Amino acid sequence: MEEHLVDWSRAQFALTALYHWLFVPLTLGLSFIIAIMETIYVKTGNTVWKEISKFWMTLFAINFAIGLATGIIMEFEFGTNWSNYAWIVGDIFGAPLAIEGIMAFFMESTFFAIMFFGWDKVSKKMHLLSTWLVAIGSNLSALWILVANGWMQNPVGMVFNPDTARFEMNRFFDVLFNPNAYSKFLHTVGSGYVMGALFVVGISAWYLLKNKEGVKAKKSMVVGATFGLITSIFLIFTGDEAAHQVALNQPSKLAAMEGLYDGHRRAGIVAIGQLNPDKKIGDTQEEFLWSLEIPQALSILGFHDANAFVPGINELVYGDTDEHHIESASDKIAKGKIAIESLKAYKKAKKEADPLAAEKSLAQFRAYEKYFGYGYLENPEDIIPPVALTFYSFHIMVGLGTWFFALFFFLLYFAMVGKIEKQRMLLRLAVLSIPLGYLAGELGWVVAEVGRQPWAIFEMLPVGMATSQISTTAVQTTFWLFAVIFTGLLIAEIRIMLKQIQIGMGEH
């Protein structure tokens, strides 16, 4: 496969995914916040809460409408840029996406119309139900998409059909209840909830700084900060489970996340540090120029055991069969090439109507099947994702998550004691934290997807074998076209939202 084609295909998909995630998290979080606000209105009958709900609903609708474009394009890219991937695993990967469209997207879109246009046209309870169903539908969409993505990280519930060269699902519930899928879903939607809360408290803080919408802004602040504080705690626990699943199923990602080259027991987490840019796999240089480590924390985080051994990059590349039974990457590559040749021999024997040779070749293929994907790699060091990008993305994400928890705590405290207007610096920090929330979400996806490299399907299908047979020029052209369109949509969304925010909470 042409190297430039693979790189440009990856770049285009990354561009689409990163832009898409600028819209999705706000949909996940803000929808529930709106539902909570409208519930307060229905319970109390206080029309101030109705105005508050309608204001945030307007901002939600702007984001929802523009966010559709990138999601649809991203799904089409599986057929245009990643047709080999779609052919090989489409029977499995396509099922959750189809269910998402039928079960979640249709429900979300249908009740969105009632939620947005149904004020004073349906009863209060019916409108409230529609608002909650939009929130639930948004999160169900995320569930099925993340089931598909979780399967890419930890493929289960399938068999390889040597006659068609495709993976076929044989246990749907294994795919649905894949531990990697549900931990990824909970952590991802948790980040969306925090993003929605940051959006609400940040805009509310701006109103308070401008001495506008005082009562409505403070009410919004209390709901947003409460929701944000609760979901920040939820995010911490789901992050722990997500890291545990990474340790069990993707040791190369964990090693890159922590910049761990030499594995050991009672491994600590580097809370903050600077990687040595000259460090290479297999050399004796120090991993970090400087670092602050929390002792034993990585063993506890990864394996829930302070004495657990955490393999490093060197063990994963060169192996450690004597003590820890870790195969070297070169051995896996060699076995993978045997699997590829066995499959070719099986195909040839079937074509020549030689059942004995076909049976022998198939038996050999099954013996080495789990190494099949490695056979398309050449360099053992290729099994390690980019360390610096994965490491810094992970640590900045975690640091920002810690800051968000503290921000919500202090905002809620001062709002409850009636002193929030006097905390000018805290309010400014709340406004500035809106883009930081988006940054944290994007970095989370960088860790998840860059940390999976070089695999499209972890340890089964390298990215280089998943692309379509199309010209590099075509991919380059559409890359820049999408970049311009997505940037235009983002600018349009920001301008429309800013205009609505400046109008205030009384007009929609």
Q: Which residues contact 345 (CB under 8 A, 6 or more apart)?
A: 357, 361, 364
Phi, psi of 121 (to 5 degrees): -110, -25
CA distance 495 to 66: 12
Residue written as tokens 């929609």? Answer: 508
Q: Which of 456, 478, 447, 445 is nearest to 24 (CA)?
A: 445
**pLDDT of res. 449:** 93
Residue 169's beta-bridge partner residues? 158
Instruction: For residue 51, count other CB atoms closer than 10 A to its CB.
Output: 18
Cβ–Cβ under 8 Å, residues 221 and 415: yes
Over residues 133-144, the pLDDT tens digits come to 999 988 888 888
Residue 269's beta-bridge partner residues? 294
* Residue 9 token pair: 């295909």
CA distance 307 to 297: 10
**pLDDT of res. 442:** 94
Over residues 478-493, the pLDDT tens digits come to 999 999 999 998 998 8
As a whole number, mean pLDDT of residues 243-249 equals 91
Instruction: For residue 178, count other CB atoms closer than 10 A to its CB.
Output: 23
Domain regions of the chain by residue span? 3-250+385-503, 256-318, 329-376
Q: Which of 251, 255, 272 is nearest to 392 (CA)?
A: 272
**pLDDT of res. 380:** 93
Q: Which residues contact 72 (CB under 8 A, 6 or more apart)?
A: none
**pLDDT of res. 278:** 92
Give the confidence band of 414 by pLDDT, cuts at 50, 70, 90: very high
Q: What percent of the chain has pLDDT over 90?
A: 58
Phi, psi of 507 (to 5 degrees): -120, 145
Cβ–Cβ under 8 Å, residues 411 and 198: no
Residue 507 has pLDDT above 60, yes or no: no
Residue 315 has pLDDT above 90, yes or no: yes
CA distance 452 to 383: 9
Give the confidence band of 80 by pLDDT, cuts at 50, 70, 90: confident
Phi, psi of 309 (to 5 degrees): -85, 130
Report the alpha-carbon angle 229-233-234, nearest 5.
115
Q: Which of 409, 39, 59 is nearest to 226 (CA)?
A: 409
Q: In the predicted model, what is the mean pLDDT of the chain? A: 90
As a whole number, mean pLDDT of residues 377-395 equals 94
Q: Which amino acid is at 439?
A: L
Over residues 428-465, the pLDDT tens digits come to 999 999 999 999 999 999 999 999 999 999 989 999 88
Which uninterrupted H or E stretch holds 461? strand 461-462
CA distance 144 to 99: 7
pTM of the model: 0.91
DSSP 51-114: HHHHHHHHHHHHHHHHHHHHHHHHHHHHHHT-HHHHHHHHHHHHHHHHHIIIIIIHHHHHHHHH
Over residues 165-207, the pLDDT tens digits come to 889 998 889 988 998 888 989 999 999 999 999 999 999 999 9
- The CA–CA distances, whole Å, from 47 to 44, 113, 156, 240 equal 9, 22, 51, 41
DSSP 287-314: SEEEEEEETTHHHHHHHS-TT-EE--HH
Cβ–Cβ under 8 Å, residues 282 and 314: yes
Give the confidence band of 130 by pLDDT, cuts at 50, 70, 90: very high
Cβ–Cβ under 8 Å, residues 151 and 50: no
Strands 166-169 and 158-161: antiparallel
Over residues 34-54, the pLDDT tens digits come to 999 999 999 999 999 999 999
Over residues 202-215, the pLDDT tens digits come to 999 999 999 888 88
Number of DSSP helices (H) and strands (E) in the chain, helices first: 16, 8
Residue 508 has pLDDT above 70, yes or no: no
